[in-house]
Amino acid sequence: MAMMDMQHLSEQLKPSAEAPDTPVSTFAVIKGLATCPSMKQIDDVTPGDTKVIVETVDKLEEALGGAGALDAEARRVCAELTRPHRRNVALLYWQMYQSKLEGELKLDNITERQQQICNQIGTGILVKAQMLLVQNRWVQATLAIARASALISCCLWSHSDEQCIKQMTSVLESDGLPFPKLRLEAACSPKDKPGEKEVLGDGVIKLDVVLHRDHASEKAVKPSIADSPLNPQGILEAYWCYAEGVKPEASTPNSLIGAQPMVVKALDEPFASLELSFRAPPTPGTYPIKVHVISTSVIGVDLTADTTFTVVEDDLPPLE
């Protein structure tokens, strides 16, 4: 079933031929999750003949629309889905918007249980997608999966809303952690000539990424979560770093040339860093690289940095 879910999600999020680098919306990810084959488990474990409490789902959709979660186009798309799929979309959005809609709506017992199962299945699919969909090398789909993962895991609806940032900060502080204040730097150079910008065609490029932690503190007290049995590796902060090769032709999709986690295990660490290696193209020219760093467990962490490298022709005469 897991591979069927990945195949379905890939089909839902694949780049369009006309505009392959158009950002993928949160709604597209949620719709993809809601219609995955594994979601049928919700109906399988729901007793009785009534699998969808229509009145509750209709009220939920209306409340989500009023909260800005579902715009007119999203509601039009939802109206064309089957009732179970439409319910699943609403329940996944409820996971993100529940605190914003607190007091406006209460789920009935059946729908509440369905929401718990829907969130459990959706979260599991997202975790697998973070690892497997990168193999497609689709940049925008990969970024959208990471962003949606943070929203669902944090039960928040926005990466920039002031109320969401405030709630996220409170959650982190309750664990003895500060909200991240980060700066991102990236630089390319030939692997055998650090610091230079020019490389021969098909040469190996080294991409150095540095994530500056401006919130690092030498006086920080080690949080209890560092030694928790639920955190055996002692990781206090974790981010995904994605390297995007920017293509000159608008009709050719940019390519994901690298994906690697960045972890922090001490609050006084001034930075986290990593190195990605890839092979330069054979054709001379200057090639842009865009680096993204995103958290899948903390909202509001979404940074980019740009760098370039230049492929030059080999000016040595051929051997006779």
How far is 166 from 300, CA to CA, in rounded Å?
Answer: 11
Q: Which residue has the tokens 């329940």?
A: 91
Q: Would you state the pLDDT for residue 226?
A: 81
- How far is residue 118 from each of residues 28, 87, 111, 156, measured CA to CA in Å? 17, 10, 10, 16
The two three-digit tokens of residue 164, written as one number: 């969401």
Mention every residue, 6+ apart, whose C-beta is less than 8 A from residue 280.
Answer: 199, 200, 201, 202, 203, 204, 205, 287, 309, 311
1-157 is a CATH 1.10.3380.10 domain = yes
Q: Which residue has the tokens 């740009």?
A: 306
Residue 318 has pLDDT above 60, yes or no: no
* 119/319: higher pLDDT: 119
Superfamily the domain 178-312 falls into: C2 domain (2.60.40.150)
Secondary structure element (H or E) that encloses residue 34, with its range: helix 26-34
From 186, 180, 191, 190, select the one nearest 243 (Cα to Cα). Answer: 186
Q: What percent of the chain has pLDDT over 70?
A: 98
How much is the mean pLDDT over the chain? 93
Which amino acid is residue 161, in one-letter code?
D
Give the mean pLDDT of 263-278. 95
Q: Would you state the pLDDT for residue 63?
A: 95
Residue 220 has pLDDT above 80, yes or no: no
pLDDT digits (tens, 9 = 90+) for 290-302: 999 999 999 999 9
pLDDT digits (tens, 9 = 90+) for 75-87: 999 999 999 999 9
How far is 238 from 224, CA to CA, in rounded Å?
Answer: 17
In the chain, where the domains are located: 1-157, 178-312
Q: Is the pTM of this model over 0.75?
A: yes
How far is 42 from 70, CA to CA, in rounded Å?
Answer: 22
Q: Would you state the pLDDT for residue 217?
A: 84
